[in-house]
Amino acid sequence: MTAERTGLRERKKRLTYQAVSEAAISMFLERGFDQVSVAEVAAAAAISKPTLFRYFPAKEDLVLHRFADHEDEAARVVSARPDGVSPLDALRRHFLDGLDRRDPVTGLCDVPQVLAFHRLLYGTPSLVARLYGYQSRSEAALARALDPGTPVAARLAAGQIIAVLRILAQENWRRIDAGESADQVHGDAVASAGLAFAQLGKGLSAPSRR
C-alpha cells in the first residue's frame, strides 16, 4: 500500500507539473512572458504562489519544464548504446532518428504550436539565459556517462557534443522560423548533422566505456 500511495503521489505531482506549466505557457504565448506575473499563473492554476514555487523554483522554469525530460537524454543514449557502438555513433544515430521523427528537440518541427513555443523561448532573454543552466546539466550528465570519473577529457568532449547538438537544432529552427517547411529543411539538416559528427570524430576521441 505504501508503494501504491507513493506511486499515486508521484503521478499526481507529474499531472500538477504538467497542468501548471501548460497554463503558464498558454498565458505567456498570448500576452508575452514579461507581461504575465507568477501570481496570475498561480491563480489560473488554482494553487497558491508558494505552492507554485515548490514545483517551479523560478518563473522561467514554467517554460523550460518541457526541457527537463531531455536534460540527461544524451547521457541516456550513451549509457544504453549497444556493445561495439561508440558514444558518437550512438548520438549521431539518435539525432538522425529525431530528424526523421521531426522531434522538436532537433529544431526540425514545423507544427504551429512548437514554432510558437520556440519563438517564445528564443525571443525572451531571461529564458535563453536560464536554458544554459539546463544545457550545463546536460553536459555534466553526458560527461559522467562518457567516464564515471568525469576527467577533463570527458568534460571537454561532453561540452563539444552538447554545443554541436544545440547549434544543429538552432539552425534547423532558424530556417523553419524563416518560412521553410520541415520537409524542405530535412535533407540539409541530415547533411549538416553528418558534417558536425564527422568534425567531432576528428576533433576528439570520446572516452570509451569502462
**CA–CA dist 49, 37 (Å, integer):** 10
Say whether 79 sits in a helix, a strand or coil: helix
Which pLDDT band, with edges at 50, 70 and 90, does 209 fall under?
very low
Residue 133 has pLDDT above 90, yes or no: no
Q: How far apart are CA 54 and CA 130, in angstroms?
A: 18
Set of cell numbers at residue 115: 514554432
Please tell me the pTM assigned to this model.
0.83
What cell does 58 get? 523560478
- The pLDDT assigned to 1 comes to 55
CA atoms within a 13 Å half-sphere pointing along the CA-CB vector of 208 = 4
How far is Cα 110 from Cα 183, in angstroms, rounded to an integer? Answer: 9
The per-residue pLDDT for range 27-68, each reduced to its tens digit, is 999 999 999 999 999 999 889 999 999 999 999 999 998 777
Q: What is the pLDDT of residue 210?
A: 41
Helix axes 2-31, 61-68, angle to 10 degrees: 130
Q: What type of residue sits at position 142?
A: L
pLDDT more than 90, % of the chain: 73
- Under the banding of pLDDT at 50, 70 and 90, the label for residue 204 is low
Cα–Cα–Cα angle for 194, 128, 136, rounded to 5 degrees: 65
The half-sphere exposure of 98 on its side-chain side, counting CA atoms within 13 A, is 23
What pLDDT score does 18 carry?
86
pLDDT of residue 89 exceeding 70, the answer is yes
Distance CA 74, CA 91 (A): 7
**Please, which pLDDT band fits residue 208 given cuts at 50, 70 and 90?**
very low
Contact yes or no for 143/155 (Cβ under 8 A)? yes
Say whether pLDDT at 150 is over 90.
no
Q: 142 and 161 in contact (C-beta within 8 Å)?
A: yes
| Collapsed DSSP state (helix, strand, coil) of residue 115 | helix
Whole-number pLDDT of residue 76: 96
C-beta of residue 52 within 8 angstroms of C-beta of residue 38 = yes
The predicted structure's pLDDT at residue 5 = 60
**Quick one: pLDDT at residue 58?**
92
The answer for residues whose C-beta is within 8 angstroms of residue 59's C-beta and 6 or more apart is 38
For 173, the grid coordinates are 529552427
Per DSSP, 33 falls in state: G
Mean pLDDT score across all residues of the chain: 90
